[in-house]
Structure formats: structure tokens, C-alpha cells
């Protein structure tokens, strides 16, 4: 079983294996901090995503590479957004999306998929089902990260869907460590949604 899951790494450069494991560790730390509504979600996320930008470029997963480049930018924005205060009160606490924000998230979903589709077509990368799945998850994660940066509870719903879809994608491509990471991401995202829901319920009391 172990050999079946990790045999593909026998041909990988050692530095890429090290980088993938490092990115997975910081990625898990980031999602755990997000679950706890902790500002460290962003610096840990930046480290993970910067490593993945390089690895995904090497693996020809162009959609996910763009997702991670976008994560770096949105993490910096989210870091600033989460720390804004009026006096001793957090200016942007956990909240639900407004009708306008849902429209923006939907637009971001479709625009990001359209852009990735153009990139894949230009480089003639639509040669496998993984390219189509990668395009879909790009849209989901772009919208999810934007909602996360704005501290909207609905971000967790998109993370759950996107993480779950990514499990077989990375396993099929042979990146077992990353696939396992997405299994854990899915579980943490479910608990993250429940924890943020409790925060909202406490605010309404």
C-alpha cells in the first residue's frame, strides 16, 4: 500500500519532494489558523503558496499555479484587512456575504475559469480530464480566497467543495503528499465552517 501511494516519488528530484512536504506543512498550519480565525493564516499561507507556485509550474498544472500566485496577493490583502480596527474593535469581523458580494464572487468564479481556459488553450494543455478539473477548481478557489480575505463564512463552503475535488486530481497526477493534504483540508474546512458559524451565533445573542 505504501509503495503504491509513494512509488512515483522514486523518480522525483529530492529538492522537489522536500519543497512539497514543506508546502504541505505550512498549508495545513494556514488552514488550521483560518479555522481558529487567527491572523497567522496569512503568513503561513504565503510561504506555502509561494512554494506551490514553483512546483505547480514544474508539474504543468497552470490553473493551480495561478491560484497560488493569486493566493499570495490575496493573503497580503487579507492580512491587512483582518488587522484593521476602529479603536479596540475589529473593523471586519466574521460575517455573511451580502447580495452584492455574492455577485462579485460569482463573477470572479467565471472570469478566473475563463482566463485559465485561455491559458490552457494557448499552451495546448487540454489533453486530459485533469485540465478541465483544474480549470473548475481554479474558479472555486479564486472565489473562496476572496471571501476568506473578506472574512465571509461562505468561504468555507467553497473550500470544502474545491478541496474535495482536488483529492483525486493530485492523486491521479502522482502527488500523493498534496492529495493527502487536501483530504485534511476538507476535514478542517468542515470544522472551520462550524466554528465560524458559532462565532456568528454568539454575535447574534
Over range 85-113, report the average pLDDT.
Answer: 86
Q: Summarize the confidence of residues 82-104 as an average pLDDT.
A: 82
DSSP-derived secondary structure letter, 95? B
Mean model confidence pLDDT for the chain: 87
What's the pLDDT score for residue 139? 92
145-149 mean pLDDT: 92
Residue 14 pLDDT exceeds 90: no
* Whether this model's pTM surpasses 0.85: no
Average pLDDT over residues 78-82: 85
pLDDT at 99 over 90: yes
Give the model's pLDDT for residue 86. 63
Distances (CA, A) of 87 to 40, 84, 90, 95: 21, 10, 8, 19
Q: What is the pLDDT of residues 107-127, one digit of tens each?
A: 999 999 998 899 888 888 788
The total of other beta-carbon atoms located within 10 Å of residue 194's CB is: 11
Nearest to 132 by CA among 106, 186, 168: 168
C-beta neighbour count of 181 within 10 angstroms: 24
In the prediction, which pLDDT does 110 show?
Answer: 96
**pLDDT of res. 87:** 59
Is 150's pLDDT higher than 80?
yes
Q: Which pLDDT score, from 0 to 100, does residue 7 have? A: 67
Tell me the average pLDDT across 169-173. 86
Rounded Cα distance between 50 and 195, Å, is: 28
d(CA 58, CA 78): 28
Amino acid at each position: 500500500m505504501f509503495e503504491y501511494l509513494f512509488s512515483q516519488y522514486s523518480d522525483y528530484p529530492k529538492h522537489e519532494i522536500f519543497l512539497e512536504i514543506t508546502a504541505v506543512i505550512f498549508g495545513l498550519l494556514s488552514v488550521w489558523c483560518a479555522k481558529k480565525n487567527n491572523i497567522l493564516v496569512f503568513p503561513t499561507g504565503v510561504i506555502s503558496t509561494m512554494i506551490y507556485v514553483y512546483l505547480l509550474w514544474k508539474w504543468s498544472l497552470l490553473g493551480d499555479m495561478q491560484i497560488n500566485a493569486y493566493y499570495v496577493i490575496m493573503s497580503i490583502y487579507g492580512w491587512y484587512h483582518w488587522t484593521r480596527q476602529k479603536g479596540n474593535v475589529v473593523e471586519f469581523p466574521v460575517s455573511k456575504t451580502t447580495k452584492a458580494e455574492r455577485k462579485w464572487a460569482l463573477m470572479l468564479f467565471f472570469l478566473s475559469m475563463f482566463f485559465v481556459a485561455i491559458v490552457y488553450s494557448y499552451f495546448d494543455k487540454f489533453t486530459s480530464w485533469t485540465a478541465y478539473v483544474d480549470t473548475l477548481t481554479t474558479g472555486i478557489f479564486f472565489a473562496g480566497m476572496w471571501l476568506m480575505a473578506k472574512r465571509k463564512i461562505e468561504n468555507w463552503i467553497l473550500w470544502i467543495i474545491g478541496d474535495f475535488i482536488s483529492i483525486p486530481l493530485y492523486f491521479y497526477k502522482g502527488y500523493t503528499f498534496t492529495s493527502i493534504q487536501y483530504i485534511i483540508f476538507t476535514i478542517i474546512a468542515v470544522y472551520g465552517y462550524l466554528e465560524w458559524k458559532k462565532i456568528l451565533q454568539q454575535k447574534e445573542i
